[in-house]
Structure 1
Amino acid sequence: MHVVALRVELRIRGARSLKEKRHTVKSVISQLTATFRVAVAEVDDLDKWQRATLGVAAVSGEAGHLTRMMHAIERWFHQRQDVEVLAIAATPVEMVP
């Protein structure tokens, strides 16, 4: 079994309150989960209305599949108009016994 995780730091475009930020983050998480079937959670910057940090995790039997999926997720984030990607960091794909 192979596991990979991404830490995605975002700037929320147009957010002027925590309510607007939460609306955008909820939409991003919902669409990301539906599109890629990954686990997603907001993991940092909870009280900053223009920033969000998401953790994205996936499991597969094939490491190459996870690598391709993480690249696709990075492209997906860069194509969105409602967020700006500040940083994306991937943990190495590892084999779990």
Structure 2
Amino acid sequence: MVIGILKMDICLPHLHSLKDKRKVLKSLMAKLRQKFNISVAETGGQNKWQRSSISVVLTCNDSGFAHQVLEGVVREVENTIEGFLVKYEIEII
């Protein structure tokens, strides 16, 4: 069994409140869950309205497939958010 982990730091400079951020992230995470069948959660920056850390986890039988899916998640986030991806890290266990 292979476990794929993706950690992303996101900057959303157009947001002006935590309520705005929750709305954007809730929508983004629902879209990612539906499209990629992954587990996703905000794991940092909960009290900062323009920054967030999001973690994604998936399990499968093939490390290449896990890496491909997580790269797809990164591309989807980059194309979806009105902000930018500060950094990301993929780990395959």
TM-score, normalised with respect to structure 1? 0.90
Code of the residue aligned with 1:29 in structure 2: it is: M
Aligned-pair identity (%): 23
Query: How is 1:1-97 mapped onto 2 (pairs within 5 angstroms)?
Result: 1-91=1-91, 93-94=92-93
Q: Secondary structure at the match of 1:14?
A: coil
Q: Please give the root-mean-square deviation of Cα atoms over the aligned residues, in Å.
A: 1.1
SS of residue paired to 1:42:
strand
Question: Within 1, Cα distance between the matches of 2:65 and 2:35?
Answer: 15
Aligned pairs, number: 93
Structure 1 residue runs without a partner (length 5+): none
TM-score with structure 2 length normalisation?
Answer: 0.93
Moved over 4 A (4+): none
CA separation of 1:32 and 1:50: change in aligned 2, threshold 3 A? same
